[in-house]
Amino acid sequence: MTAQEIAVEAAGWGGASLILLAYLLLSMGKLTGQSAAYQWMNVVGAIGFTINGWWHGALPSAALNVIWLGIGGVTLWRIRKRSAANRA
């Protein structure tokens, strides 16, 4: 296995782990869906899944994770915007 292949697999497994951990913490009530930590875990996890899916030609999975990433990004933007409004 080449270094590039190892990196792609690590990105996929790391992404899977982050998304699973985010869901576990949400389900346990440790995080909320509106917390930046939860959203960042999903965004970074989706990046890993997208890299891995694209590499393996799993385009439906890659596309789903690009959308997942976009949802998380928009939510993070809204959290930041709301936080800035509350400080003002």
Instruction: Output the pTM of the full model.
Output: 0.91
pLDDT at 88 over 90: no
**What is the structure's pLDDT at 32?**
96
Tens digit of pLDDT for each residue in 37-70?
Answer: 999 999 999 999 999 999 999 999 999 999 999 9
DSSP character string of 70-87: HHHHHHHHHHHHHHHHHH
Identify the pLDDT of residue 87.
85
Residue of 46, 25, 71, 68 lying closest to 79 (CA atoms): 71
